[in-house]
Amino acid sequence: MNWSWPFFFDYLTNGLMLRGAWTTIWLSVVSMILGLGLGIVAALMKMYGNRAVRYLAEFYIWLFRGTPILIQLVIIYTGLPQLGIRLSVIESAILGLALNEGAYLAEIIRAGIMSVDKGQEDAARAVGMTWRERMYLVILPQATRTIIPPLGNQFNGMLKTTSLASVISMEELMRNAQMLAQIEFRVLEAYSVAAVWYLVLVSIWSAIQVRIEAHYEKPFGPAAAGALKGKKEGEQTLKKAGAA
Amino acid sequence: MEQQDLATQTERAPGARRLGEPIVVIDGVEKSFHGTPVLRNVSLTVRKREVVVICGRSGSGKSTLLRCIDQLETIDGGTIRAAGHLMGFRERHGKRVPLRDAQIARQQRDLGMVFQNFNLFPHVSVLDNVTMAPVRILKRDKAEAETEARALLQRVGLPDKENAYPRQLSGGQQQRVAIARALAMKPKVMLFDEPTSALDPEMISEVLDVMTDLSEQGMTMIVVTHEMGFARAAADRVVLMHDGQIVEEAPPEEFFQTPKSEHTRLFLSKILQH
């Protein structure tokens, strides 16, 4: 056996890996936020647009869900220059990941909006809200509750999907692990360290996700209210409600 | 229950309200859903400070009429004027042009609507339910709107519930918050769509009491309900709808004692039997 613990532990805190992990984090967050914006726009276009707008949204979703993200990234970075569009590695990675994510999120967001009770739209109209106000103040905040769990799942996936950006030489965890592996040919140790880092990031995200879900569940369930606002306060609210 | 019992059950203070000029004028309204007519040439005039109760069997079109007044449904024909607006349209050179969403929203702000299923916003507190529209739509000062909202919650008998979420309230309490939410926009007319139909029997009176108070304070109200006790106590006129048409329209005494339409007699015999 040729497994070396010293190399493993050395790589674990190696600057290259730490920088890679950091890149993976911000690349995931930025792509997710942009993807979320794209997803919301595409979902609203598909649900409320006229025929042309609807078809445009459907085409986007169909195209980016129907082709591998790997091909999308390669086309954006190495193919588009042929058409005179030159994007940097970072721009290409963010664009590819966001476009791909947006297509998936559009369907998740659409399902979330459809899950909101029809009476909410009536109530929002009845107090005189415009479409924009209904969406922003009433429908989307409630859709969020349904959207958050699958959204968290998507972000979990995003943390790992960013590794595909290594093929266009984006220096994130995977790419840096490759480089590290080639220095002393400690391939197994280097990639294991990368795997450990992904596990750490995903685990941290899971913990964050629980808190976000509790926040959005707060208006809807006593258990969640207690978990987030401190048990005492939650119980008081409940007692108050019970006393009436 | 006998009709006589109902009459003595609740007495209306005579002359408490003086009716003003017409504020809702419904004229020849037609509405179909997928080819099935729901409203057929419906005309009704409601005057300022008047309380009109609309009753009828389910499917008679009474809820649809209410939803058409508030532009939650678009009408196929006829006109509805309410609170000074030609609902859903504007007139230009004698022609009617359909309004866009934002313009309809502006008209809707002068009408308040209360729903059978309350439809409170479940993601925000009771206070925010009441202040959301004044603060976020009318851009009113938040502190000021909250002071007014607390006064409204006091008025509907829920002064200590402002921080609760809707799910923590009983049905009757939720409906009273819904009334406060509608009143926060200072509507000129209040529309009630079966406000007590989804409530447990013991909670019906707390909602009807609030509505009666409101009528005594001079609010113009159109109420779709099966609560004949409320009709007797608070209504100036009772309207019966049947098959998309208004078949009876009379003051409560006349409506209950000497109905003209066969449909009314049939309806009353069914609803007053138990």
Q: Which residues of B touch A (CB under 8 A)?
A: 67, 70-72, 101-102, 105-109, 111-113, 115, 117, 119-125, 132-133, 136-137, 160-161, 163-170, 173, 178, 181-182, 185
Rounded CA gap, B218 and B267, in Å? Answer: 29
The per-residue pLDDT for B272 is 72
Selection from B237, B189, B215 nearest residue B70 by Cα: B189
Mutate to test the interface with B, among A115, A127, A131, A229 (most CBs of B within 10 A): A127
| Confidence band for A106, pLDDT divided at 50, 70 and 90 | very high
Mutate to test the interface with A, among B116, B118, B119, B181 (most CBs of A within 10 A): B119
pTM score, two decimals? Answer: 0.84
Query: Distance from A203 to chain B by nearest Cα, in Å?
Result: 29
Kindly report the number of other CB atoms within 10 A of residue B271's CB atom: 14
Kindly report the number of other CB atoms within 10 A of residue A81's CB atom: 11
Nearest CA in chain B to A142: B123
List the alpha helices (DSSP H) in chain A.
5-12, 15-48, 51-66, 69-74, 89-114, 118-126, 131-133, 140-161, 173-184, 187-217, 222-229, 231-243
Q: pLDDT tens, B15-65?
A: 557 889 999 999 999 999 999 999 999 999 999 999 999 999 989 999 999
Q: Is the pLDDT of residue A42 over 60?
A: yes
The per-residue pLDDT for A1 is 67
Q: Which helix (H) or strand (E) holds B210?
A: helix B201-216
Q: Is the pLDDT of residue A236 over 50?
A: no
Q: pLDDT tens, B175-218?
A: 999 999 999 999 999 999 999 999 999 999 999 999 999 999 99
Rounded CA gap, A163 and A173, in Å? Answer: 7
The per-residue pLDDT for A218 is 85
Nearest CB neighbour to B72, from listed A126, A145, A237: A126
Which two three-digit tokens encode residue A155?
């972000």
Q: Is the pLDDT of residue B267 over 80?
A: yes
Nearest CB neighbour to A241, from listed B120, B123, B169: B169
Q: pLDDT tens, A151-169?
A: 999 999 999 999 999 999 9
Query: How far from B149 is each of B161, B183, B218, CA to CA, in Å?
Result: 12, 9, 20
Kindly state the average pLDDT of the residues B122-140: 96
Q: What percent of chain A has pLDDT above 70?
A: 90
The DSSP letter of residue A208 is H
Q: pLDDT tens, A164-202?
A: 999 999 999 999 999 999 998 999 999 999 999 999 999
A44-62 burial, b for 16+ CB within 10 Å, e for fewer?
bbbeeeeeeeeeebeebbe
Torsion sign, CA atoms A7, A10, A11, A15: negative
Cβ neighbours of A127 in B, within 8 Å: 108-109, 132-133, 137, 181-182, 185
Kindly state the average pLDDT of the residues B228-255: 95
Nearest CB neighbour to B105, from listed A123, A129, A141: A129
Q: Say whether residue A223 is in contact with chain B using an 8 A CB cutoff.
A: no
Rounded CA gap, B159 and B152, in Å? Answer: 9
Nearest CB neighbour to A126, from listed B70, B132, B166: B70
Is B56 in contact with B270 (CB distance < 8 Å)? no
Query: Distance from B18 to chain A by nearest Cα, in Å?
Result: 27
Query: Distance from B262 to chain A by nearest Cα, in Å?
Result: 35
Is B43 in contact with B28 (CB distance < 8 Å)? yes
| Confidence band for B273, pLDDT divided at 50, 70 and 90 | low
